[in-house]
């Protein structure tokens, strides 16, 4: 049986929360992001403001020039978080198969729920109604056999939309749409494709796979699949690990920098590999150290964007290690590295353009080789050192203790 996946996204979320709290703002051009005389960009614009060309990411000064009569609001994050929690609680009442993607966006697997609600379409109407009644917010919902098609459908249906793509119709639904509608296509990819004479999603799906691969590497394949409406990603339930970490206790306490750094590199590769396997990126990296006297410290660093490459995890860990270990420190008993604040890749990021994406592809290639031949089939210069330190062990040095916190 084909899956029925819903993508639910609130319309003009930050602005709509403000309008729900202050009826005077309803039906008017409203912008959340800050006062127009300040630097900064539009975070959210009401649909009335969008009629004047305003959109998220536009400098506030431009927004003010295009629509001086708009009400500009600074915004307050706790209000939006509170509304988001209520929104997710309503969705959870409808199905436990729920994945929240951001504050105002979620996927819900509704496969098999027809018998309860009459049809999935009816279920979506009931969801929209409850959100309207209880939160005074508008949700747009796309329904399809996969995440990617459901997301395109909900965005196309905005505002206050509901659009269901029948099973088997995915490809023909996507085909006439401009390529920018496909999640993951950023400005640069769009330019390259336009340069090749490709303007619609259907034209991407008709391109030979090899041609796409030659322009976009491994991402070309994903692009081809998505453009054809093929996407096996599952709705991931809460309870999936919220953080991933690896740590090791040394056989003998050590002050040796190269041993600490080699171990850190090895643990970073383990964490990176697990992160990629889960299809996530991390925004927070944490180093853990336990000294010989059992004093334990942790140090965090938050990245500007999500990342899942070994290199970034290690480089960040190394910086934290260098700061945390002044010269003359006492010996280290345990070292660990972890990642948290896990996000879905590719929402704000341009999936195909960034150099981080390229590094990720390299990491994935290494993952594949390791899967086939064992983790130590590929070693970086640094982890080779560990062979001398732990010569008796083969694959994996048996030194890491996995810990997945939920």
Residues in touch with Mg ion (CB under 5 A): 9-10, 13, 104
Tokens representing residue 163 in the block? 């659009």
Query: In terms of CB distance, is 83 or 204 closer to ligand TTP?
Result: 83
Determine if 325 is a binding residue for ligand TTP (CB under 6 A): no
Work out which of 44, 71, 219, 286 binds ligand TTP, going by CB under 6 A: 44
Distances (CA, A) of 28 to 33, 70, 71, 173, 313: 16, 7, 8, 33, 46
> Could you tell which of Mg ion, ligand TTP, none binds residue 185, using a CB distance below 5 to 8 A set by kind?
none
Site for ligand TTP in 79-118 (CB under 6 A): 104-105
Query: In terms of CB distance, is 80 or 250 closer to Mg ion?
Result: 80
- Name the packing angle between helices 209-216 and 219-227 (round to 10°): 130
Give the three-state DSSP class for 37.
coil
Candidates 12-20, 223-231, 307-315, 383-391 — which segment interacts with ligand TTP by CB under 6 A? 12-20
Candidates 3-11, 125-133, 211-219, 378-386 — which segment interacts with ligand TTP by CB under 6 A? 3-11
For the stretch 61-81, what's the b/e string if a residue is b when 16 or more beta carbons lie within 10 angstroms of its beta carbon? eebbeebeebbbbebeeeebe
User: What is the total count of residues that contact ligand TTP (CB under 6 A)?
Assistant: 14
> Could you tell which of ligand TTP, Mg ion, none binds residue 56, using a CB distance below 5 to 8 A set by kind?
ligand TTP
| Residues 309, 302, 107: CA angle, nearest 5 degrees | 75
Determine if 14 is a binding residue for ligand TTP (CB under 6 A): yes
Q: Please, what is the minimum distance in Å from the beta carbon of residue 10 to ligand TTP?
A: 5
Work out which of 35, 38, 53, 57 binds ligand TTP, going by CB under 6 A: 57
Q: Please, what is the minimum distance in Å from the beta carbon of residue 129 to ligand TTP?
A: 18
Q: Please, what is the minimum distance in Å from the beta carbon of residue 401 to ligand TTP?
A: 38
CA distance 322 to 320: 6
- Residues pairing with 332 in the sheet: 254, 291
Tokens representing residue 100 in the block? 């929240």
Q: Mind spelling out the 3-state secondary structure of 88-111? A: HHHHHHHCCCEEEEECCEEEEECC
Q: Please, what is the minimum distance in Å from the beta carbon of residue 105 to ligand TTP?
A: 6
Contact track, ligand TTP, 149-188, x by CB under 6 A = ---------xx-----------------------------
Query: In terms of CB distance, is 8 or 212 closer to ligand TTP?
Result: 8
Report which secondary-structure segment, H or E, holds 47: helix 47-50
- Residues forming the active site: 105
For the stretch 343-366, what's the b/e string if a residue is b when 16 or more beta carbons lie within 10 angstroms of its beta carbon? bbbbeebbbbbbebbebbeebeeb
CA distance 171 to 4: 16
Query: In terms of CB distance, is 13 or 314 closer to ligand TTP?
Result: 13
Query: In terms of CB distance, is 20 or 56 closer to ligand TTP?
Result: 56
Q: Which residues bind ligand TTP (CB under 6 A)?
A: 9-14, 43-44, 56-57, 104-105, 158-159
């Amino acid at each position: 049986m084909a899956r029925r996946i819903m993508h639910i996204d609130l319309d003009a979320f930050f602005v709509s929360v403000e309008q729900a709290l202050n009826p005077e703002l309803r039906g008017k051009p409203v912008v959340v992001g800050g006062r127009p005389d300040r630097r900064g960009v539009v975070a959210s614009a009401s649909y009335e403001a969008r009629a004047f060309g305003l959109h998220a990411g536009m400098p506030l000064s431009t927004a003010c020039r295009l629509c001086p009569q708009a009400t500009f609001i600074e915004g307050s994050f706790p209000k939006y978080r509170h509304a988001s929690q209520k929104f997710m609680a309503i969705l959870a009442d409808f199905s436990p198969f729920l994945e929240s993607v951001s504050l105002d966006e979620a996927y819900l697997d509704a496969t098999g729920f027809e018998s309860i609600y009459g049809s999935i379409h009816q279920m979506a109407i009931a969801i929209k109604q409850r959100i309207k009644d209880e939160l005074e917010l508008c949700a747009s919902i796309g329904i399809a056999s996969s995440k990617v098609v459901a997301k395109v459908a909900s965005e196309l249906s905005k505002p206050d939309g509901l659009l269901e793509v029948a099973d088997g119709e995915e490809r023909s639904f996507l085909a006439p749409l401009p390529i920018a509608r496909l999640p993951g296509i950023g400005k640069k990819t769009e330019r390259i494709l336009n340069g090749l004479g490709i303007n619609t999603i259907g034209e991407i799906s008709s391109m030979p796979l090899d041609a796409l691969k030659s322009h976009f590497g491994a991402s070309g394949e994903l692009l081809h699949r998505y453009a054809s409406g093929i996407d096996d990603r599952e709705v991931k339930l809460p309870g999936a690990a919220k953080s991933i970490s690896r740590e090791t206790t040394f056989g003998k306490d050590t002050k040796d920098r190269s041993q600490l750094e080699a171990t850190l590199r090895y643990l970073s590769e383990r964490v990176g590999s697990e992160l990629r396997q889960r299809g996530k990126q991390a925004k927070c990296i944490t180093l853990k150290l336990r000294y010989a006297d059992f004093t334990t410290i942790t140090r965090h660093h938050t990245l500007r964007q999500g990342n899942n490459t070994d290199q970034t995890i290690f480089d960040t860990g190394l910086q934290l290690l260098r700061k945390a270990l002044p010269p003359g420190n006492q010996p280290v008993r345990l070292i660990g590295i972890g990642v948290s604040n896990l996000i879905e890749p590719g929402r704000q990021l341009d999936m195909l353009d960034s150099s981080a994406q390229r590094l990720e592809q390299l990491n994935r290639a290494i993952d594949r080789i390791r899967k086939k031949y064992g983790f130590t089939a590929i070693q970086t210069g640094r982890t080779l050192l560990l062979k001398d330190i732990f010569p008796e062990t083969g694959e994996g040095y048996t030194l890491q203790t996995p810990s997945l916190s939920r």
